[in-house]
Chain A
């Protein structure tokens, strides 16, 4: 079994990361009844015996002593990390995994990327190496950050290229929280576009998540739990937005939103952690979903999101789960994959679901989903037998779909609006190492990415003839 290390950078990265650790602990506590440190636990946790002086973890098979998250926490201010250290999760981290400064990056990508990136380079690499040393087969780094602020977007993407330099073989999967249109960070378009270029060049896969979509989902769930029809009770304990049963106490403002992202990560890694009749390892994600190196943005959708505790019609409910994964309401960015073009699509299923259920649903949904001509059967599936806590089954769909294009275009537009007026530019250009060309190159990179999606989109309505086959002289 392989291990993964989570690198959480900036306020958003750390807050989302904490929800992940909380829910991961709950999930393992639920599945692991014997209290033994097993392979599944080892993928994200070390088991540390405090009596051992060398600080190394114990091997798989023994009793659980003290679980430590395989994580590196980075923030350039202290608030969030300190809160974590005072909260219920303090036990799973220790000071050697943390890196903080006091003043933050002031919502400035350049400060995070250049100033802090250079100042903390050695320390960051050191902490990453330590985390890697604790793994006997490190498969994946999960970077979590926001695009809008300074630390997550600037330093986070600096960490990304450090990962590529130091661990070229290890897969880099990035979860990026995109700002909503009315984001309170005025410079968020700059930060996001500058970060985008780094993501396009250095990540293996990026899972874009928009705060606006998270807000809408959370609101809808709240609304449903108030105005539920008699007889159809909402399960408040469903894992999707609540943290109940986990370690945390009171909910903080972003918690409900962050729980959704945490679930995305849990479901994406479940098949690598638990058994199933069709395993889907983390290195299979990029292999199957990324046909061209730069086009690695995978739109996530999670179902069930809006669970009713109505278990009377299991098959229909199961089929509904598959249909929902393609609806606009279940995407974690504001996008409509059904009306754009699929390059590839993964269905990661958990719980008591069989191949026949998969086959039936793929057959049923396929006709309504446009796929690129050379990948008409671009489906990747995984079956993990362990369902998420509180559910009988769940589905995570990852779509490599041109529907990301509008999000990127909107971002470019917001960027251009600021950039035309050179608004706030001097804050960036004052930073040592930052040059104006970074802005133009970043927007060029984004434009060419948009163009690549556009080209593919243009093939959608054309009937593409099959490539003429090789002829064999007879």
Chain B
């Protein structure tokens, strides 16, 4: 089964490009079955035999798409479809309303047609993945609109949104408004929302990977590797030794089991400079012990894990945002790749104390495995988690936007394109609902 990716805006197109690059080189190095399975998911062969990404690129300006097209073609390993992109001359100017109310509707048909073409090229469609940032105007606004159109056309398909959340101190001043509008709308449309926070990834680059001058391309490489380790072929519990067919569908059914809870975070272990890998040894118990503590203490990387945090007995559990920093999960998906993967002991992730009381840990925990090592690591583990991990950043985002909204700053820029104060209030309301739901997980 195949996944059709829709890359939107500068961020979506830059991260998307990196993802295909990571997937292609991973598949390239692996054995045949794995490699074929991966290629079927993300690429098709052109008549000339080239690997072509199953992707549609959309931006309201041309520069980024041109860059991604060229870079992919230059790699010599894969490329984008010659006509699978749509760009305009003028971006959405960081204005969600401009993207959602103007550019989206104006180019609806072209975009739908591009996606339809990719979908028809798939023997079987696993689902759609839309990639974008939430802070700008195109990825967020057009991205939301396009997701809505796709939901209408493909009511039964899985739709996953991969979102890049902005740096706290942003590159866009109205980023919190744009994020609130995007998230509130996507929450109604998407099956699951997979989030990478730029601040977190940036810290991984500096503290774990020791990169001195971090560029977006470094950040995107980390995101792409984490995503790749989720989306590349793996064996599920009931796939009987063959690679699972539908990564999106399985992901969604493993993690997004309740419409109130759709926010997924990702963490991986190990992450280190490639020069250090040769000098390191990894053991499954060690990796999993760290990863579990990262999960429950809500540390997004292995450095600075708080080892004091432990699960509480049912009676001690509190219902508050500020309580002990224990991170309660609704559901977790653990993906192990590499040597001796079948011997890895994952019982500690099945501990009921990690989860809400209303799901059994059998339902809440899913495990995928693959003996093929990923990204140069002999052994590696990735955890996709539907937990309170994103509660704090979401709450921050909404709080900042709300403060700005209280003074009505910048609202005139949105009204100009047809988004009213009422629309803002609706979005605030629905996100407060999400915040409230996640904070009551216990």
A and B bound?
A: yes
Against B, the Cβ 8 Å flags (1 = close, 0 = not) of A350-373 are 000011111100110010000001
> How far apart are the CA atoms of A289 and B93 in the complex, in Å?
12
In angstroms, how far is the closest chain A Cβ from the Cβ of B440? 7
- Count of A-B residue pairs with CB < 8 Å: 135
- Residues in chain B near residue A125, CB distance under 8 A: none
- Residues in chain B near residue A357, CB distance under 8 A: 213
A359 adjacent to B167 (CB under 8 Å): yes
Tell me if B48 counts as interface (CB < 8 A to partner A): no
B403 adjacent to A467 (CB under 8 Å): yes
- Residues in chain B near residue A373, CB distance under 8 A: 403
Tell me if B357 counts as interface (CB < 8 A to partner A): no
Against A, the Cβ 8 Å flags (1 = close, 0 = not) of B150-190 are 00000000000000000111111110000000000000000
In angstroms, how far is the closest chain B Cβ from the Cβ of A123? 29
**B233-241, B303-311, B339-347, B404-412: which lies at the interface:** B404-412
B216 adjacent to A470 (CB under 8 Å): no
Known: A344-B173, A374-B407, A377-B168. A470 touches B91 (CB 8 A): no
Q: How many B residues face the partner with a CB closer than 8 A?
A: 54
> How far apart are the CA atoms of A422 and B435 in the complex, in Å?
63
B90 adjacent to A137 (CB under 8 Å): yes
Known: A355-B216, A374-B409. A379 touches B170 (CB 8 A): yes
- Residues in chain B near residue A470, CB distance under 8 A: 402, 428-429, 432
Tell me if A284 counts as interface (CB < 8 A to partner B): yes
In angstroms, how far is the closest chain B Cβ from the Cβ of A292? 7
Closest to B136 in A: A284
> How far apart are the CA atoms of A373 and B14 in the complex, in Å?
33
- Residues in chain B near residue A39, CB distance under 8 A: 62-63
Tell me if B67 counts as interface (CB < 8 A to partner A): yes
Choice from A278, A283, A366 contacting B93 with Cβ under 8 Å? A283
Which residues of A349-407 are within 8 A (CB) of B? 354-359, 362-363, 366, 373-382
> How far apart are the CA atoms of A253 and B345 in the complex, in Å?
80
Choice from B94, B206, B403, B406 contacting A284 with Cβ under 8 Å? B94
A355 adjacent to B202 (CB under 8 Å): yes
- Residues in chain A near residue B64, CB distance under 8 A: 279
- Residues in chain A near residue B62, CB distance under 8 A: 1, 39
Tell me if A88 counts as interface (CB < 8 A to partner B): no
In angstroms, how far is the closest chain B Cβ from the Cβ of A53? 27
Tell me if B253 counts as interface (CB < 8 A to partner A): no
Tell me if A307 counts as interface (CB < 8 A to partner B): no
> How far apart are the CA atoms of A313 and B219 in the complex, in Å?
26
Known: A275-B63, A288-B174, A344-B173. A355 touches B94 (CB 8 A): no
Tell me if B420 counts as interface (CB < 8 A to partner A): no
- Residues in chain A near residue B205, CB distance under 8 A: 356
B172 adjacent to A380 (CB under 8 Å): yes
- Residues in chain B near residue A474, CB distance under 8 A: 436, 440
B169 adjacent to A366 (CB under 8 Å): yes
**Interface pairs (12), CB distance under 8 Å:** A39-B62, A279-B91, A288-B94, A289-B173, A356-B214, A373-B403, A376-B400, A377-B400, A378-B173, A379-B170, A466-B402, A472-B432
Binding site for A on B (CB under 8 A): 10, 14, 61-64, 67, 88-91, 93-95, 137, 167-174, 202, 205-206, 211-217, 219, 398-400, 402-407, 409-410, 412-413, 428-429, 432-433, 435-436, 440
Given contacts A355-B214, A380-B171, A381-B171, 9 further A-B pairs with CB under 8 A are A2-B61, A2-B89, A137-B88, A281-B90, A288-B173, A292-B412, A354-B214, A355-B215, A379-B169
